[in-house]
Chains A and B, each alone.
Chain A
Amino acid sequence: EPEVTQTPSHQVTQMGQEVILRCVPISNHLYFYWYRQILGQKVEFLVSFYNNEISEKSEIFDDQFSVERPDGSNFTLKIRSTKLEDSAMYFCASSDPDRDGDEQFFGPGTRLTVL
């Protein structure tokens, strides 16, 4: 069964450094999402992406964040200058517009630790 994959599984970085989190969505999916979950807290929506542009974003997704689909398979989240409070699990998801349910398929997550 196809699945969303994410790399790396764990990323450790110093405060102020740039990080890029990578995702490979399910191949025929056209909607892509990033969510994050700070330890012990709720899953929070960051951004959705469709047709090569951001379709929706939350207040969390400020100028420090950007997303890109650099080729036909990858979907990336860049954090320009990481802060301690960016430490969280970051989940990528994708969905297929041809499915009745529009359900989102989530990846296993990347744990980002900012020191």
Chain B
Amino acid sequence: DAKTTQPTSMDCAEGRAANLPCNHSTISGNEYVYWYRQIHSQGPQYIIHGLKNNETNEMASLIITEDRKSSTLILPHATLRDTAVYYCISCYTGRRALTFGSGTRLQVQP
């Protein structure tokens, strides 16, 4: 699985969009990009995943660059409950072992 790099922490104002970047410059053609988050000490929670195309679901949008070397997770209207550590993970399939890095600690400010 390709290594991913994320900023250690970010702040976002409540109600504004939170844009969380992830670098995965060594990703191979059939590796997916998955995003999970962990709120406090709870179990990680799946957010979204993608291969090449941009994706959107009820939680977030995922923008993947054309060269697939980086991606951005967008929370369109961040709330205080979105304060969490966000993990960007690249893998061939979500069924295999997920390798969690240190992630980005997002603090949503009131």
Contact = CB atoms under 8 A, between A and B. Distances in A.
Given A31-B95, A102-B93, A102-B95, A43 B102 contact: no
Contacts of B44: 43, 91, 93, 104, 106
Q: Chain B interface secondary structure, helix, strand, loop or mixed?
A: loop
A91 to B, nearest CB: 5
A105 B46 contact: yes
Scoring A45, A91, A104, A107 by chain B CB atoms within 10 A of each residue's CB, the highest score goes to A104
B98 interface: yes
Contact of A56 (B34, B96, B100, B102): B96
A58 B99 CA distance: 11
Interface residues of B, number: 20
A43 B42 contact: no
A53 to B, nearest CB: 14
A44 interface: yes
Contacts of B93: 102
A45 B94 contact: no
Contact of A108 (B34, B42, B100): B42
A109 B46 contact: no
Interface residues of A, number: 26
A93 B95 contact: no
A43 B96 contact: no
B9 interface: no
Interface of B: 34, 38, 41-46, 49, 87, 93-102
3 cross-chain pairs, A with B, having the tightest CB-CB distances, nearest first: A106-B43, A102-B94, A103-B46
Given A42-B100, A43-B38, A58-B97, 20 more contacts: A43-B44, A43-B87, A43-B98, A45-B99, A48-B95, A48-B96, A48-B97, A56-B96, A56-B97, A89-B41, A91-B44, A95-B94, A95-B95, A101-B94, A102-B94, A103-B46, A104-B95, A106-B43, A107-B43, A109-B43
